[in-house]
Amino acid sequence: MDYERAQLFIQRVEWHFAKTMPQIPHWYCLLKECKDKEEFLWFARYIQEHSVPRQFYGRTYNYCYLGKYKYWMMDERPEDCDLINRDKME
């Protein structure tokens, strides 16, 4: 059930290409653009609960793998999150 809910969230939000980081291509969505702020927070918690730590440029991020993409937050706590990143899996 949660997996389906996560997929619905992913389909409903607008993903922006990170133009300021073309050397590290990825996309992001913003809390302020979400119609349902609680659903954004729920997805941030989902990422935290279903993620695995991985190193990226010497820093550890927690990645949640769903479908063809991996998702991560820059914040430690979902309650502080205002941006969720995603990138295609290699």
**Residue 43 to residue 18: CA distance in whole angstroms:** 20
**Residue 38 to residue 48: CA distance in whole angstroms:** 15
pLDDT given for residue 90 in this prediction? 74
Q: What pTM value is reported for the model?
A: 0.92
Percent of the chain with pLDDT over 70: 100
**Residue 86 to residue 8: CA distance in whole angstroms:** 15
| Three-class SS of 58-87 | CEEEEEEEECCEEEEECCCCHHHCCEEEEE
Mind listing the pLDDT tens digit for each residue in 48-87?
Answer: 999 999 988 888 999 999 999 999 998 989 999 999 999 9
Range scoring the smallest mean pLDDT among 16-20, 29-33, 67-71, 86-90: 86-90
pLDDT given for residue 28 in this prediction? 98
The radius of gyration of the chain from alpha carbons, rounded to an integer in Å, stands at 12
C-alpha distances out from residue 37 to 22, 43, 69, Å: 28, 10, 22
